[in-house]
Each structure stands twice: as structure tokens, then as C-alpha cells.
Structure 1
Amino acid sequence: MKKNWLIALLTLLAYLPSQAQNPIIKDVFTADPAPLVYRDTLFLYTGHDTASVSETNYKMPDWRIYSTTDMVHWKDYGTRLSPRTFAWATGDAYAAQCVYHNGKFYWFVSTFHKKDGNSQGGAAIGVAVSDRPTGPFRDAIGKALIVNEMTKDKPHAWDDIDPTVFVDDDKQVYMYWGNLSCRWVKLKDNLTELAGPINFITPRNYIEGPWVYKRKNLYYLVYASAGTKPEMIEYCTAPSATGPWTYRGIIQENVPNSFTTHPGIIDYKGKSYFFYHNGSLPTGGSYRRSICVDYLKYNADGTIQKIVQTTEGVAPVK
């Protein structure tokens, strides 16, 4: 009997979150969270900060994958993709998102393009593909999907970053991205070709890091804002994936010890979750960030309540 009670106690303790679950990954610095639910598992695709404490710019060599089935215990798959996967790419591994479509996993990434016959350099968006959510991933088309020469509304070379991809109910696929300018385009069903012209929109205070999704009959465009420094998270809603977008306000204030933040929103096992990053780990900072997760809650009219940032994080789910 005593042994059975001990087993039951240990089982219970295994499902109790620690007092400081956030950040959820503590052994390496991670940024730009992109959650994906596949079957009964939540997969988390992340960037990876490796800058030293004294460096004053990003050093992001690769992208990593984690997974959970209870929102508390995370399995680490390590590095699963890097700019070296793409023969045309060079430089850092900026924000990315993986989506499931037609039986395959497409990982849309932002990095930089070599100067060659296809581009004069600058930020670019590529697509990797795999039959499994954890890879191995390969370059899906052997070239960049978006290069700097395709978007001329902004003069800086790092404007084509932070892709988010949304598959609507009618299976039409949309991609949104951009720094200082939010762009969107329809993608063909193979997710490797554009299906129309690139469009430009100007959400209030928009700077980067868009995340687009649909809940009930409302479309959400959530993004990092430049209304103040450091960044906050603001959002718009619309009746369709193409707008018109109505500004709704701020949902996340500044995060600790980082001038950037980045949204990743997902529903999983009956609850809504808001992923983001901050610089709260020891020796952390704006170039040594860490991913956190807290609850996301809605009002009756579909508007989003302010995110409550916690060190406790979220409770385990079965």
C-alpha cells in the first residue's frame, strides 16, 4: 500500500509545474516561437540565439524544434534546420513558421540571400519541406520564394522577414511577412509558388513579426508594434483573410529585458495559448532571448484580453 501511495505521489508531482516554468526552455536561448498542433502533440519551432553577453547584434545560426503533450514537459529535438540547408542563403536564421498542408510539413523561414544572378542580397524567405513534423527538412524549391527585389516599398535590405502562413477554410493559403511594411500574398496549393501579386497593408504601429489565424468567423492579424520601444504586441481583426483590417489595440506590454517580442498563438486541448520571448534567463537579453507561454483569453465579442505575463506559465493538461 505504501508503495502505491508513493507511486501516486510521484506521478502527481510530475504533472505539477515548477514555480517558475517561464521561460519554458532554459538550457539554450530561443526566440521567435511558432507553435503547430499535429494530432495530439504541440510542436514548437524556434529560433536560436547564440550571441555572447557582450555582443550587440543577433547571432542566430539555426532553427530548433520542441514538442509537448501536456504543456509542461518539453521534448528537445535539437537543431533541425539552418540557412546552410539552402544553397542560396547566407547569414542568420530569423523568425520562421511551420505549417501542415496536403500531408507534408512546410517550414517557411527568413534568412538572407547571397549576391548572385537571382538577387543582389538582402533578406529573403525560403521554404523547407518534410514528411514529418520533426524532419529531416530539405529546400522545397531550390531557390528563395521571396527576394528583396520583389518588394520595393521600403529601402532597407532586411524588410522581407518573419513569414506567417495561414490556410483558410477553403484551403486557400496566404503568407504575410515584413519589417516596417506588412505584405501578403496568396500561395498556390503546393505552397512553393505565388498565386497572385504581393499586396501591402499598413496596420497601426506595425513593425514586424505578424501572426495570422482565424477564430470562429473572425480573422486576426497579431504583430510586434513600433508605437514605443521596446516592442509591444498589437492586433487587428477582419471579416476575411484579405481584410479590411480594423485596429483593436495592445494585448502585450513590453517584455522583461528584451526590446523585441514575437507572438505565436495556438489552441490546444481546449485552451488558447500565447507564446512569446523575453530576456529573463540569467545572462539573457535582447540578443539572448527565451521563449515563454501564457494563457490567451477572449471577450464575448472576440476581442483579445490583455496578456498577463507570468513566471509560473501555464498548468499541465492531460
Structure 2
Amino acid sequence: MSSAGSARGVGRTTGQVAGDNDHELREGHIPDYVDENRSYLNTVIVHPSTGSELWKKCNALRSQRETKRAMKSNACIAQSIMISFGHGIQDDFKALDIELQNELYLKLMQRIALEANTEISGLVAHRDETAPHAHGQLVGYNRDGTPLTKIMTRQFRKDMQDWMLEIFQPHITQMERGVAKSVRLARGEKAATTINRSVAELHKDLPKEIAAKKGVLDDLLAKIAKNERLAEKARLKAIDDGDQADKAVKRAETYGRRAKAARETMTAAEVELASLESKLAGMRNEEALLNDELKRVDGEVAVSLETLAELETATAQKKTNIDRLRKKKAHLNARLQSLSVA
């Protein structure tokens, strides 16, 4: 059970920002894994900027430096920051006062913005899903006009985990620094311990287990009802049959014991059922987080492809310049030789 905090960032385009804002502000479609009865507990700490607002701001920041072309339509105009907690410390975080939770979220976002030399453009804390977490938003260009996709390097993202530990650990003493899977494997940890049960497997298995457990509960309820009915019948017979009263009372007591035993078994089954349903809810929340992570990866791929295209263009231009300079050098050498002969 992980006791690590996690702060992950990914670039977002104008269209992706719109979808993020709908999800974070609970506007439009509400996913099944969201408990709308608890949505009032969510906090909009900094109202997220719209895609058009961020586009204008990023375009203005970008114009501070010389560029060969206009900003692309699919440029990353924001960095989306997901702040979450391992299962081992989620209850510890939820036990904190909500105002303190919001303060910690904001402090971490302020630290990330400070290091990236940009500003916070949104921050929403969610408490209506299985796991507590927050969605932060940063302006996609820093104050010098440099895109955050170039600033938030691999090392920067590692530093984000350290900043989170620094800010949250004084209030969650069990919090640990997350260890990369590659490092855990290098230490000799078995690969199986680094891999969680897949969402597909959970989707397949848990509903069946829940259905089976509900079937057990239905059988137990029927058994309880039957034995209570027989016990009541035996008690009534004891009243009517004086000479057979002792036997009737014993039968009533037997049925009563059976009903009691069935109730105790049912209580245990209900606990197991609640555990399974909780696990299923957690799985659905995990699925949502995985989908969100997939979107983040898609954004990173788009950025990488854009960077690659820029590098290829720059490389082609440099090759053209080199060819031109070589020709110029050859021409100058020829002139120099002709002058030397003269």
C-alpha cells in the first residue's frame, strides 16, 4: 500500500482545457464514479481559466521572443497538474481540516509556478470521488515567453515530488517520497509487486463477485424468514397444545437459533459485500485516473511530435546554410587563387 504523494503535469491544448474545466467544475456530463451527494465538498480554490483566455495570454507571452511563425493551433497553452495520494495516506489526508487541505494544495501549486516562472490559472480540489485529489492549472508559457513543455523536464518533474513531500509531510507524517518503478526493480523487488491488478480484470471479476455475494444474502434472508415463521408457528402451537407445549417450545427455540445464526452469517456477508462494492468504486475511480493519465500522455506525445518537427525543420535549415557557406567558401578560394596567379 503506497504512502507516497504524487504531482504529475502534462501540457494541454485549447480543446483539452475545455474538457478539463468541464470535469473539474462538474459541468456537463458527470461520470458514474462521482458521488454527486458529496460534490458540495469540492473547492474551487482558483477558478480555472478558459482555453481562449489562456491562448491570448500565452500568445502575448510568446511574442516577447523572436519566433519564425505564429503559435500553432494545437500548442500547449496550459500545464495540467494532478495532485494525488497513495492508498496508505488517503485517510490521513482526508482527516485534515478542509481549509488546511486547500492551503497545502495551493502551496504546492505556488511552488511549482515559482520554479517554472509562470502563474497559477486554476486549482480545484475534488472530494466527491473515491480518492481525494486536486487538479491544478498553470499558464503554458513562462514570463519570458518560453513554453512550459521545455521547462518541465524530467528532472523538474522529479523535483515536483520532492516539493510535495516538503509541503505535505509536516501534516501527513506517514507520507514518503515515491520511488520509481525502475529503481524498485533494480533493488530486487519482484516485478509482480510493482504491477496492480488491471482495470480490465477488475471490471470482469468484481461485478461477478458482488452478484454472487448478493445471491448469498438473498438466500440468507429467505432462510431467516422461513425459520422465524416456523418459530412463530411453534410458539402458537405451544399455547394451543398444553400437553405438547414442551416439544413445541423446543422447536421454537431451535428455529430461533437457526434464524439468529443466519442473521450473523448475513452480517458477515454484508461486510464482505460492502468491501467488494468499495473496491469496485475504487477501481472505477482508478479507471478515471488512468483515462486522465492517457490524456496526459497523448498531450506529451503531441508536444514531442511538435518539438521533433521543429528540430527537423531547424536541421534542414542548417544543412541548407552549410551548403550555401561551402559554395561561398569554394567561390572565395577560387578568387583567391586567381589573385595569387595574377
TM-score by length of 2: 0.22
Higher strand share: 1
Higher helix share: 2
